[in-house]
Structure 1
């Protein structure tokens, strides 16, 4: 995408994201810096900053969200995030570390919710892997498109975590309760063809270049409509699920701050670092 406007100051020192603009369409690209655009502290800090700026920019009427390289995102950058979880995993955590962890969950939730609350429609263009936190983020978008090789996974259960950043709250209205339960309870991977069949993505395109072109075209089509009416339409549609999503996010944040610390979570983290299959014991 060619920049025809100088970058806004809000985007000048970003590390994990890049923002370009062409006409009335902004394009947000995940940069990492973790492998596969994994989502570490920089990402969670910058995502709400970027989408609040896009929301406030009168020149932006639609947003394309995509990943750099071959993949959209591998999801949460566990090695980068683990240090802030250490007090919770260091034995019998009492109220103080649990309260701090509750605050962290809510902060991460607000980062994803900033995408959903952006009044400008957001089109996610997904190529390669979209795992865990990546699915949380695209669930907050208005429209999702995929390339033929894209793969998706609500994988948190595989690492002893109840998904708490929006997938469990937003996907039911997108793919239906039955499909959501299957994906969330198994942590299985699905390909782009199945993602299209269940409604996770609207369309599948041959490759990464084609899906990005399609997303830009769709964003341009939206941007050509009266901007305040488009924003109003998104606002009215969001009322259908907004309260349910908010209540669900609050509940899962409280649940995880109480029950997430476990030997299984520590085992999942250790197995991840040692590149081996975890052995869970329900403790």
Structure 2
């Protein structure tokens, strides 16, 4: 039997609350800044598939606990499992295992986009890397004035592979996406609103959450099957292109991600210094 919001198992990285017809999903970490470790990637699809199946839920608010939405992928927590797959002399077996890992993470993010209930992302503080992948899969993004966004993978020697490069072009346009993805720069809430990454910016986190809940409530007040149908019809405009892009980048990273620059990026992160990339 498919889980509903009420029957979800105990969660470590996410909290789900339902008020009327609106579910609120909150990132909990447990890593600093709600960084996304193994628990998050395991629980995210469980939660969104349950919300999709729950007839009580008609709209979803997705937000982060504390001051920040998410610092993105928890590299130290994930690299332990990935290290054997990313060795410089890895052959077909380890690389195939890494391909499976990437596809699993992609499916977790895609569970948000595939949820038939509309999802409103409410972003405060930092939203980095995997955090941007997650909010790009939502239907609408709102931010508080202190929000900052970064498609930062390029700065740690990774081709972003969980959805930002596939979904953001239809949200912010190809030119803005290329600027963000090729520089890894940070953009504040004002710039995010200007380029269409977020619909509106609010004074603080309290005002943001109030607005997100109200917007989700407006969606939930409409005929639920029509809302779900509208979301699915809108998805048909881009879903094939997104799926093709995700398959391509998963294959690309399984072949080309292992590098001296990636090792240097991880080492520099652990040593809290600027990396020295050599193109190897």
Determine if the TM-score, normalized by the shorter chain, exceeds 0.5.
yes
Distance 2:5 2:278 in 1: 51
User: Structure 2 matches for 1:180-191, cutoff 5 A?
Assistant: 180-191=177-188
**Separation (CA, whole Å) in 2 of partners of 1:216 and 1:203:** 14
Equivalents in 1 of 2:235, 2:87: separation in Å?
40
Aligned to 2:252, the other structure's residue is in SS state: helix
Partner of 2:176: 179
Structure 1 residues not aligned, in runs of 5+ = 1-5
Alpha-carbon distance in structure 2 between the residues aligned to 1:170 and 1:29: 22
Taking the aligned partners of 1:25 and 1:91, their CA distance within structure 2 comes to 47
Shift of residue 91, structure 1, vs aligned partner: 2.9
Cα distance in 2 for partners of 1:221, 1:180 equals 30
CA distance in 2, matches of 1:151, 1:223: 28
TM-score, normalization: structure 2? 0.98
Task: Give the aligned CA root-mean-square deviation in angstroms.
Answer: 0.9
Question: Which residue is 1:96 aligned to?
Answer: 93
> Structure 1 residues 219 and 259, CA, compared in 2 at 3 Å: closer, same or farther?
same
Within 5 Å, give how 1:155-234 maps onto structure 2.
155-234=152-231
- Aligned residues of 1:89 and 1:266 also touching (Cα < 8 A): no
Q: Distance in 2 between matches of 1:174 and 1:71?
A: 22
Do the aligned partners of 1:52 and 1:118 also contact (CA within 8 Å) in 2?
yes
Return the match for 2:131 from 118, 131, 134: 134
Query: Mind listing any 5+ residue stretches in structure 2 that lack a counterpart?
Result: none
Q: How much has 1:179 moved relative to structure 2?
A: 0.1
Match of 1:67 in 2: 64
What is the alpha-carbon distance in structure 2 between the residues aligned to residue 150 and residue 158 of structure 1?
A: 20
| 1:270 shift after superposition | 0.5
Matched-pair contact (CA < 8 Å) for 1:39–1:133? yes
Matched residue SS, 1:123: strand
User: For the Cα contact (< 8 Å) 2:34–2:68, is it kept in 1?
Assistant: yes
Which residue is equivalent to 2:49?
52
Q: Does 1:118 align with 2:115?
A: yes
Query: Aligned-pair distance for 1:9?
Result: 1.9
User: Match of 1:9?
Assistant: 7
> What per-residue deviation string (whole Å, max 9, x for no partner) do you get for residues 171-222 of structure 1?
0000000000000000000000000000000000000011010000000000
C-alpha separation between the residues in 1 aligned to 2:101 and 2:126? 25
Deviation, 1:89, is 3.2
1:278 and 2:275 matched? yes
Secondary structure of 1:8's partner?
helix
Contact 1:148 1:192 in 2 (8 A): yes
TM-score, normalised with respect to structure 1 = 0.97
- Report the equivalent of 2:17: 20
Map Cα deviations across residues 42-89 of structure 1 (whole Å, 9 max, x no partner). 000000000000000000000000000000000000000001111133
